[in-house]
Structure 1
Amino acid sequence: MRFNYDLSKFLLNILFIMFPLIFYQFTIQEKMNETKALKNIIIFFLFATPMILCMYFPPVEETSLIFDLRIIPLIIGCLYGNSITSILLFVSLIVVRFMIGGSGAYLNLISSTLSFVVIITFSKRYHSFSLMNKILSSFLLSFICKMIGISSILIIDSDYDLLSAFEFYIVQSLFMGLAIYIIESIRRNAELKKELIFSEKMNVASVISASVAHEIRNPLTAVRGFLQLLTQTDLKPDKKQMYGEICLAEIDRAEQIINDYLSLAKPYPEVVEKLDIGEEIQYICNILTPLANLTGAEIQVKQDYQLFVSGDRQKLRQSIINIAKNGIEAMADKSGVLKIEAYRRNNEVILSISDTGIGMTNDQINRLGMPYYSNKDKGTGLGMMVSFGFIKGMLGNINVKSEVGKGTVFDIAFPLLKM
């Protein structure tokens, strides 16, 4: 008997096998780690489906015999599933082959039973192998199983073309090894991703712990020193008052640092309400005017009316005040102008905050909002990080433009809340 290959059906068999493997690895594997029963059911259907489709679209079909890649999903299902999944796949293979019919169904029963025993025996040690050994052993396992099939066919057909069969099954075994390589690579990448996420979480936790300790220690150290001075009996009243005010200021600073850290855990709005951007700008302007007067800066406000957004009022104010305050501080060495503008653009509310301060480089702009990065000598970077988090929690987008020596512009876009 000579094989007559149908290349299109051979490629179709490959598609049947590869699609479920990739689908399982990318969409189901991580979600089914704890629901084992559901995972087993999904594994069965993912491997039973291509196995059955391979039998219905065989690349080679001679009289009552069909030759296809059904053994590959059977082997993979047995290697990566449990015993129940393996038995169900084996039973499905036998039943469907008998449904297709022909005398080859009986030969399939004999060869598949012997192959199944070999596969189950091998699967017990499979996961202890290295990647290369898994690929080589799966190649040999696939070839051995098909040799069992050839032996059963020789019983009824002594003219069986062994050379054509060897060619077909070597190609099949090569694809078996490739399939194992793809599966193991994807599994390894998934494990590396989990390790990377865990490592990143531990790194963030350690950085936060060190930062909290460092930032809180600074004001506490100052408070402790001035309290020691206050215990001296020969201090003048004005000195005591000055030291007391410094202690209170340092305690307030420590409280602000703690509040910034606590805000990191809740970047999204807690109380969602309808906000009039015009009213919020006026409130922020009133808050910042005393600071601007101290530094010699001027605040200019320009706004359209009926600009409404949805969000947390307190967090919006805190975010805008942080950004505007940084702008005022950037103009501390020269009299400058802080402009706060609000206007409508399509279906967005644009809140623009610009200053004529020292400006920033592109590298500084790209690092804005990152943990513990600040352009100020005594800054922690948390204020800007919290502000960015609050704005994004309100579905806002931030665009920063700056030029060294000329100033910075923050354009914040919020979705317009329609009346």
Structure 2
Amino acid sequence: MLYVKDILLQLLFALTPFVLYTIYYRDKAENYSKQFITITCMICLFMSMTFPASVQKGIIFDVRYVIMFFGMVYGGITTGVVLLVEFLIYRLLIGGQGIFSAVIILSITFSLSALLSILYRRCSEYRKLVTFIAGISFSLIPIGTMLATEYHYTIQNLNFNILVMPVQNSLGIWILISLFNKAVSDKELYLRYLQSEKSETIAHVAASLAHEVRNPLTAVMGFLKLLKDDSITKEKSQKYIDICLEEIKRTEVILSEYLSIAKPNHSMVEKIELVQQIYAIIDIITPYANMNNVTLEIQHLEDQLYVSANPTEIKQLFINFIKNAIEACAVLPSGNVNICIERQSKFAKIAIIDNGVGMSIEQMDRLGSIYFSTKSKGTGLGLTLSYQLIRSMNGDVTVRSKSGEGTQFILTLPLFD
């Protein structure tokens, strides 16, 4: 039973990178980074060496080989070197008679890990075989080295050496690599669908935007033709020029806001004035509403409400909610979407109300779940990302709806202190 406890504890440490990845990247629209792999592996290595499996003082066994291989597979050689330095420093501090054997074993396994990690990344069809070879190798190399350097100890504790090391190394590598690879693959699939959803939204808005931009350009062209007439007065000429400049300026503002949403997202967070931001989004989405015969209205009691957010993300968030509200009203002869903004203590409350088709209780319960959508051609990922973003800002979403009676989304966001 003592061996089982040691093995389970080491397997727990081996799974630490997978657990931290699942927690940290759950609500992020990005995948893991090499810095994340390095830091989590360093934590895992420190914990496993602090609470090792051992039957004799100074000779310790842990999942260092599992962590080293995992770190090189997903973090590269640089991560492996960092872990090697950490191990050497900490092992010297721990001390004991097993230092010499540990350095020899790690020298061999480090080189083997570097080779196998390269094969793992380059030969995707042989990944299971590479993982199997790594598990067996990291079980046999320590036993063989200990027989050569600590023969009497190895023979005296033969049961421990042939049970604990092979099980925790082979099983640790297989579980960690399998679970982490599955989680990363699922995340990549999610991000691809997310990008597809965003591109579709931008395409819809762009189609209506092109129509809306054409109107002021047509007006500008008409006034420019009038300016060619020598008979008009100077006052009229100046008036026509002012109108042209205003139309061009309005077109420039709409296009700038659209491009700020279409360009790649960055993790920058800054102080944002919410009312102004929503008005800018209304300018972008109004052409899409017009195409669907939907009227957009906005009401607010205060002119300035500041929140801390990523500018691109919060624009995409409101576009997702307003676009969904417009599409819910598109089947009606007189659709209407009303946006109400107000302050509630330390929070900004944004209510997006439509008179569209509404939703059932079952549909409302599943809102925000991945791949669920009330639209026949939707993936639901736009709304999923919006829910995740609001939660990451310590905000909240409330939904009120009835089939055939419209829907009310109430977004609550903490104000910038």
Which TM bucket (shorter chain)? 0.5 to 0.7
1:74 aligns with 2:28: no
- Name the CA shift for 1:216/1:161 in 2 (closer, same or farther; >3 Å): same
Deviation at 1:18, TM superposition (A): 2.3
Q: Of 85, 97, 105, which residue of structure 2 is paired with 1:91?
A: 85
Deviation at 1:179, TM superposition (A): 0.6
Deviation at 1:401, TM superposition (A): 9.1
Q: Of 122, 131, 136, which residue of structure 2 is paired with 1:128?
A: 122
> Which structure 2 residues correspond to residues 264-275 of structure 1 after superposition, within 5 A?
268-270=274-276
Q: Where does residue 349 of structure 2 map in the other structure?
A: 395
Deviations 1:138-195 (A, max 9, x none): 2321320231111111122362565653433135312311111111122112211221
Q: Where does residue 192 of structure 2 map in the other structure?
A: 195
Amino acid at match of 1:397: A
1:10 aligns with 2:7: yes
- Name the CA shift for 1:163/1:196 in 2 (closer, same or farther; >3 Å): same
Amino acid at match of 2:167: I
Q: For the pair shown, which has the larger CA radius of gyration, 1 or 2?
A: 1
Contact kept? 1:21, 1:46, Cα under 8 Å: no
- Name the CA shift for 1:412/1:117 in 2 (closer, same or farther; >3 Å): closer
Q: Where does residue 138 of structure 1 map in the other structure?
A: 131
Q: Where does residue 387 of structure 2 map in the other structure?
A: none
Q: Where does residue 23 of structure 1 map in the other structure?
A: 20
Q: Where does residue 161 of structure 2 map in the other structure?
A: 165
Deviations 1:106-157 (A, max 9, x none): 1111111111111112222211233x74344223213202311111111223
- Name the CA shift for 1:150/1:374 in 2 (closer, same or farther; >3 Å): same
Amino acid at match of 2:111: V
Deviation at 1:400, TM superposition (A): 7.5
Q: Of 104, 112, 115, which residue of structure 1 is paired with 2:109?
A: 115
- Name the CA shift for 1:414/1:16 in 2 (closer, same or farther; >3 Å): closer
Deviation at 1:91, TM superposition (A): 2.5
Amino acid at match of 1:202: S
d(CA) in 2 for partners of 1:144, 1:271: 58
Contact kept? 1:6, 1:60, Cα under 8 Å: no
Q: Where does residue 44 of structure 1 map in the other structure?
A: 38
Deviation at 1:27, TM superposition (A): 2.6
Amino acid at match of 2:275: P
Contact kept? 2:52, 2:60, Cα under 8 Å: yes
1:177 aligns with 2:174: yes
- Name the CA shift for 1:13/1:127 in 2 (closer, same or farther; >3 Å): same
Contact kept? 1:401, 1:408, Cα under 8 Å: yes
Deviation at 1:413, TM superposition (A): 8.2
Amino acid at match of 2:67: P
> Which structure 2 residues correspond to residues 214-293 of structure 1 after superposition, within 5 A?
268-270=274-276
Amino acid at match of 1:396: I
Amino acid at match of 1:116: F
Deviation at 1:209, TM superposition (A): 3.8
Deviations 1:337-367 (A, max 9, x none): xxxxxxxxxxxxxxxxxxxxxxxxxxxxxx9
Q: Where does residue 358 of structure 1 map in the other structure?
A: none
Contact kept? 1:309, 1:414, Cα under 8 Å: no
TM-score, normalised to structure 2, is: 0.53
Contact kept? 2:138, 2:170, Cα under 8 Å: no
- Name the CA shift for 1:215/1:97 in 2 (closer, same or farther; >3 Å): closer
d(CA) in 2 for partners of 1:33, 1:117: 28
Deviation at 1:32, TM superposition (A): 8.9
Contact kept? 2:105, 2:141, Cα under 8 Å: yes
Gaps of 5+ in 2: 216-250, 261-272, 279-299, 305-322, 359-403, 413-417
Residue 396 of structure 1 aligns to a residue whose secondary structure is strand
d(CA) in 2 for partners of 1:171, 1:189: 26
d(CA) in 2 for partners of 1:172, 1:414: 48
TM-score, normalised to structure 1, is: 0.52
Residue 275 of structure 2 aligns to a residue whose secondary structure is coil
Q: Where does residue 376 of structure 1 map in the other structure?
A: 332
d(CA) in 2 for partners of 1:271, 1:108: 60
Q: Alignment identity in percent?
A: 21
Q: Where does residue 55 of structure 1 map in the other structure?
A: 49
Contact kept? 2:10, 2:168, Cα under 8 Å: no
Contact kept? 2:329, 2:354, Cα under 8 Å: no
Contact kept? 1:25, 1:187, Cα under 8 Å: no
Deviation at 1:46, TM superposition (A): 1.9
d(CA) in 2 for partners of 1:202, 1:409: 27
Deviations 1:192-245 (A, max 9, x none): 122112111221233334455689999xxxxxxxxxxxxxxxxxxxxxxxxxxx
Aligned length: 280
> Which structure 2 residues correspond to residues 324-343 of structure 1 after superposition, within 5 A?
none
Out of 136-145 and 23-32, give the one that drifted further.
Answer: 23-32
Residue 371 of structure 1 aligns to a residue whose secondary structure is helix
